């Protein structure tokens, strides 16, 4: 992986016109990711509302001894829950991309202004407390075994119907 300091050294050698174009490109990309993040957060909020409503319908059906309808609603709720998890994972990636473009814009502007950035200053652009959160978020994207409970549930249901 290329270090931020190496990238910054390259930026300092780049012509001002090219830096302007590069800054504009990163700014456009950051704006696009910011817009996608807002849309995704809205969609997750809508999904969570839908999940609550579906679970209420499932509970109501179960209390009325309508087991089939309760199961249908519970399965739909499970699908919505998986959609929420997938969207949250996407949100992590979108935010990481937005952050990357913010850092690039800042480095380009500093290069244009002739501000010297040491390796320490560049590493301080991401405070340690944010570094830990970002690393935990990336680790949280591990999906190994995420669908195993659903597969087991479906297998058990299939065995009972046989």
Domain boundaries in the chain? 11-139
**The token pair that represents 71 in the structure block:** 């199961």
Residue 20 has pLDDT above 90, yes or no: yes
For the chain, what percent of residues have pLDDT higher than 70?
77
Q: What is the pLDDT of residue 117?
A: 80
Distance CA 95, CA 100 (A): 9
Does residue 22 have a pLDDT over 80? Answer: yes
CA 108, CA 55: separation in Å to the nearest integer? 50
Residue with the larger pLDDT of the pair 103 and 50: 50
pTM: 0.67
* pLDDT of residue 54 exceeding 70: yes
């Amino acid at each position: 992986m290329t270090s931020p300091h190496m990238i910054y050294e390259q930026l300092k050698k780049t012509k001002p016109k090219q830096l302007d174009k590069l800054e504009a490109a990163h700014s456009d990309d950051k704006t696009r990711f910011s817009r996608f993040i807002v849309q995704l957060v809205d969609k997750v909020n809508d999904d969570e509302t839908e999940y609550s409503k579906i679970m209420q319908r499932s509970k109501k059906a179960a209390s009325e001894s309508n087991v089939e309808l309760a199961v249908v609603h519970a399965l739909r709720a499970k699908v919505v829950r998986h959609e929420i998890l997938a969207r949250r994972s996407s949100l992590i990636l979108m935010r990481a991309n937005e952050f990357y473009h913010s850092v690039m814009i800042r480095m380009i502007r500093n290069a244009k202004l002739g501000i010297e950035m040491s390796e320490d200053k560049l590493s301080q652009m991401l405070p340690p407390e944010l570094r830990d959160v970002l690393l935990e978020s990336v680790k949280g994207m591990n999906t190994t075994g995420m669908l195993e409970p659903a597969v087991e549930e479906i297998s058990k249901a299939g065995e009972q119907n046989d």
